């Protein structure tokens, strides 16, 4: 983001992110962005004045084999839950639910 310019770097911000890359899309809820990289945890970044925190403010203990595209359910701006599916094999998946304010706190998994 920041437009391409051949003479200078106009990038507004970069963050380290997942070393294995991302295969899904992030989710947004209450000034936080949730992302899961390949062979990486689900990470929560805060968004302040248009910039993400440079490191995750919380992360799940689960490692998602191929990453996940998180989804949010909530009652307006309260009681947020981050849902993420982990494809544990070619034939099996596990649904996880995390507290949106702290994704290190798993609320449910289908195992």
| pLDDT at site 99 | 98
Nearest to 27 by CA among 48, 3, 44: 44
Helices (H), the chain: none
| pLDDT at site 22 | 82
Enumerate residue ranges in the chain where pLDDT < 70.
Answer: 1-4
**What are the tens digits of pLDDT across the range 9-40?**
777 887 888 888 888 899 999 999 999 999 99
Alpha-carbon span 77 to 75, nearest angstrom: 6
Alpha-carbon span 75 to 36, nearest angstrom: 23
Query: Bridge partners of 82?
Result: 72, 98
| pLDDT at site 2 | 56
What's this model's pTM, rounded to 2 decimal places?
0.87
């Amino acid at each position: 983001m920041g437009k391409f310019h051949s003479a200078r770097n106009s990038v507004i911000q970069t963050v380290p992110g997942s070393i294995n890359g991302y295969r899904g899309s992030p989710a947004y809820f209450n000034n936080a962005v949730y992302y899961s990289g390949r062979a990486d945890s689900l990470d929560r970044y805060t968004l302040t004045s248009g910039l993400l925190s440079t490191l995750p403010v919380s992360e799940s203990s689960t490692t998602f084999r191929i990453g996940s595209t998180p989804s949010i359910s909530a009652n307006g701006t309260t009681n947020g839950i981050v849902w993420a599916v982990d494809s544990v094999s070619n034939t099996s998946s596990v649904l996880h639910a995390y507290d949106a304010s702290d994704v290190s706190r798993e609320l449910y998994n289908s195992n």
